[in-house]
């Protein structure tokens, strides 16, 4: 396959490099277009008022294009301009940190995959439930093994697949489960500290409340050590509320 590989942790990130090696070794043609700097939690932002610069990262065992923008920028620029022909698949990751539940909205990793799907290219987002992974070669090999078995032609347009690995080594992970995402929102708080000039600054912390995590969905299964695969479709329509509003506003 021709694969556009991107991420939100930046072109130097461990997870992207691991996927590059595994996918290349599996015989795929891997085209890397990834942010030069870390873009975690930028969501689906696109750059509208700054130029995008592209820089080659040419190394003995790696070649990729680094973009001075967001993950969605990378996919847009890659698909419209930098690649000679459309790839068969967009792969985004492997992200350091799980992307489950509402993370999907904040995640640059998932948004890059979504951008691929919006541009009619099948897409896979990949994350690991570990903010400081030291070796993702096992997870990358697992991805390379999984990709050929996915019925990509039958995945509807504007649907992406969101794969999450548990924090343990892949050899110790539970079986793959296909499951929905949790709908629980984060409980957020900000740590207040003082900068060197004595002025306060704020740093976001948050957790998906463990007591509200529903069983059978991605967050719970991931915590139990499963590898989770969740199809996500871009469709924010709410038919029930649409019908309700039409009725209440007398617009039937
Ligand atoms: Mn990230």
For 14-33, how does the pLDDT look when each residue is reduced to its tens digit (9 = 90+)?
999 999 999 999 999 999 99
Distance 242 CA to ligand 1 centre (A): 35
pTM across the whole model: 0.96
Q: Which of 95, 68, 81 is nearest to 31 (CA)?
A: 81
CA distances (Å), origin 129, targets 19, 24, 110: 16, 24, 14
Distance 66 CA to ligand 1 centre (A): 16
**CATH code at 2-183+211-248:** 3.40.1210.10
Q: Which residues of 139-160 are buried (b: 16+ CB within 10 A; e: fewer)?
A: bbbbbbebbeeeebeebeeeeb
The CB density around residue 251, as the number of other CB atoms within 10 Å, is 7
State residue 208's pLDDT score: 87
Q: Which of 112, 77, 74, 106 is nearest to 93 (CA)?
A: 112
Distance 113 CA to ligand 1 centre (A): 13
DSSP string, the chain: -EEEEE-SS-TT-HHHHHHHHHHHHTT-EEEEEEESS--TT-TT---SSSPPPEEEEEETTEEEEEESS-HHHHHHHIIIIISSS--SEEEEEEEES---TTHHHH-HHHHHHHHHHHTT--EEEEEES-SS-S--HHHHHHHHHHGGGS-GGGSPTTEEEEEEE-SS-GGG-EEEEE-PPP-PPPEEEEEEEE-TTS-EEEEEEEE--GGGPPTTSHHHHHHTTEEEEEEEE-----HHHHHHHHHHTT--
State residue 240's pLDDT score: 98
Distance 129 CA to ligand 1 centre (A): 11
Whole-angstrom Cα distance, residue 210 to residue 219? 9
Q: Which residues surround ligand 1, an ion (CB under 5 A)?
A: 8-9, 40, 95
Give the list of residues 6+ apart from residue 225 with CB closer than 8 angstroms, or none: 166, 168, 172, 173, 174
State residue 6's pLDDT score: 98
Which residues of the chain register pLDDT less than 70? none
Distance 178 CA to ligand 1 centre (A): 23
State residue 252's pLDDT score: 75
Distance 164 CA to ligand 1 centre (A): 13
Distance 88 CA to ligand 1 centre (A): 24
State residue 199's pLDDT score: 98
Contact yes or no for 17/61 (Cβ under 8 A): no
Distance 121 CA to ligand 1 centre (A): 22
Distance 3 CA to ligand 1 centre (A): 20
């Amino acid at each position: 396959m021709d694969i556009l590989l991107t991420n939100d942790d930046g072109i130097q990130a461990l997870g992207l490099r691991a996927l590059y090696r595994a996918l290349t070794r599996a015989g795929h043609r891997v085209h890397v277009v990834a942010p030069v700097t870390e873009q975690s939690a930028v969501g689906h932002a696109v750059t509208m008022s700054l130029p995008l610069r592209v820089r080659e990262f040419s190394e003995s065992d790696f070649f990729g294009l680094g973009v001075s923008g967001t993950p969605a920028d990378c996919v847009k620029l890659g698909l419209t301009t930098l690649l000679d022909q459309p790839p068969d698949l967009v792969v985004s990751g492997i992200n350091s940190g799980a992307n489950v539940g509402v993370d999907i909205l904040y995640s640059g990793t998932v948004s890059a995959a979504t951008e691929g799907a919006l541009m009619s290219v099948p897409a896979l987002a990949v994350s690991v439930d570990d903010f400081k992974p030291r070796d993702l070669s096992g997870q990358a090999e697992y991805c390379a093994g999984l990709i050929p078995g996915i019925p990509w032609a039958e995945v509807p347009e504007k649907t992406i697949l969101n794969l999450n690995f548990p924090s343990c080594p892949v050899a110790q992970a539970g079986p793959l489960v296909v499951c929905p995402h949790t709908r629980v929102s984060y409980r957020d708080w900000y740590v207040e500290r003082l900068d060197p000039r004595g002025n306060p600054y704020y740093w976001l912390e948050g957790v998906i409340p463990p007591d509200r995590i529903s069983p059978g969905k991605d967050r719970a299964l991931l915590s139990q050590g499963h590898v989770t695969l969740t199809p996500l479709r871009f469709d924010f329509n709410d038919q029930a509320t649409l019908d309700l509003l039409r009725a209440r506003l007398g617009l039937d």
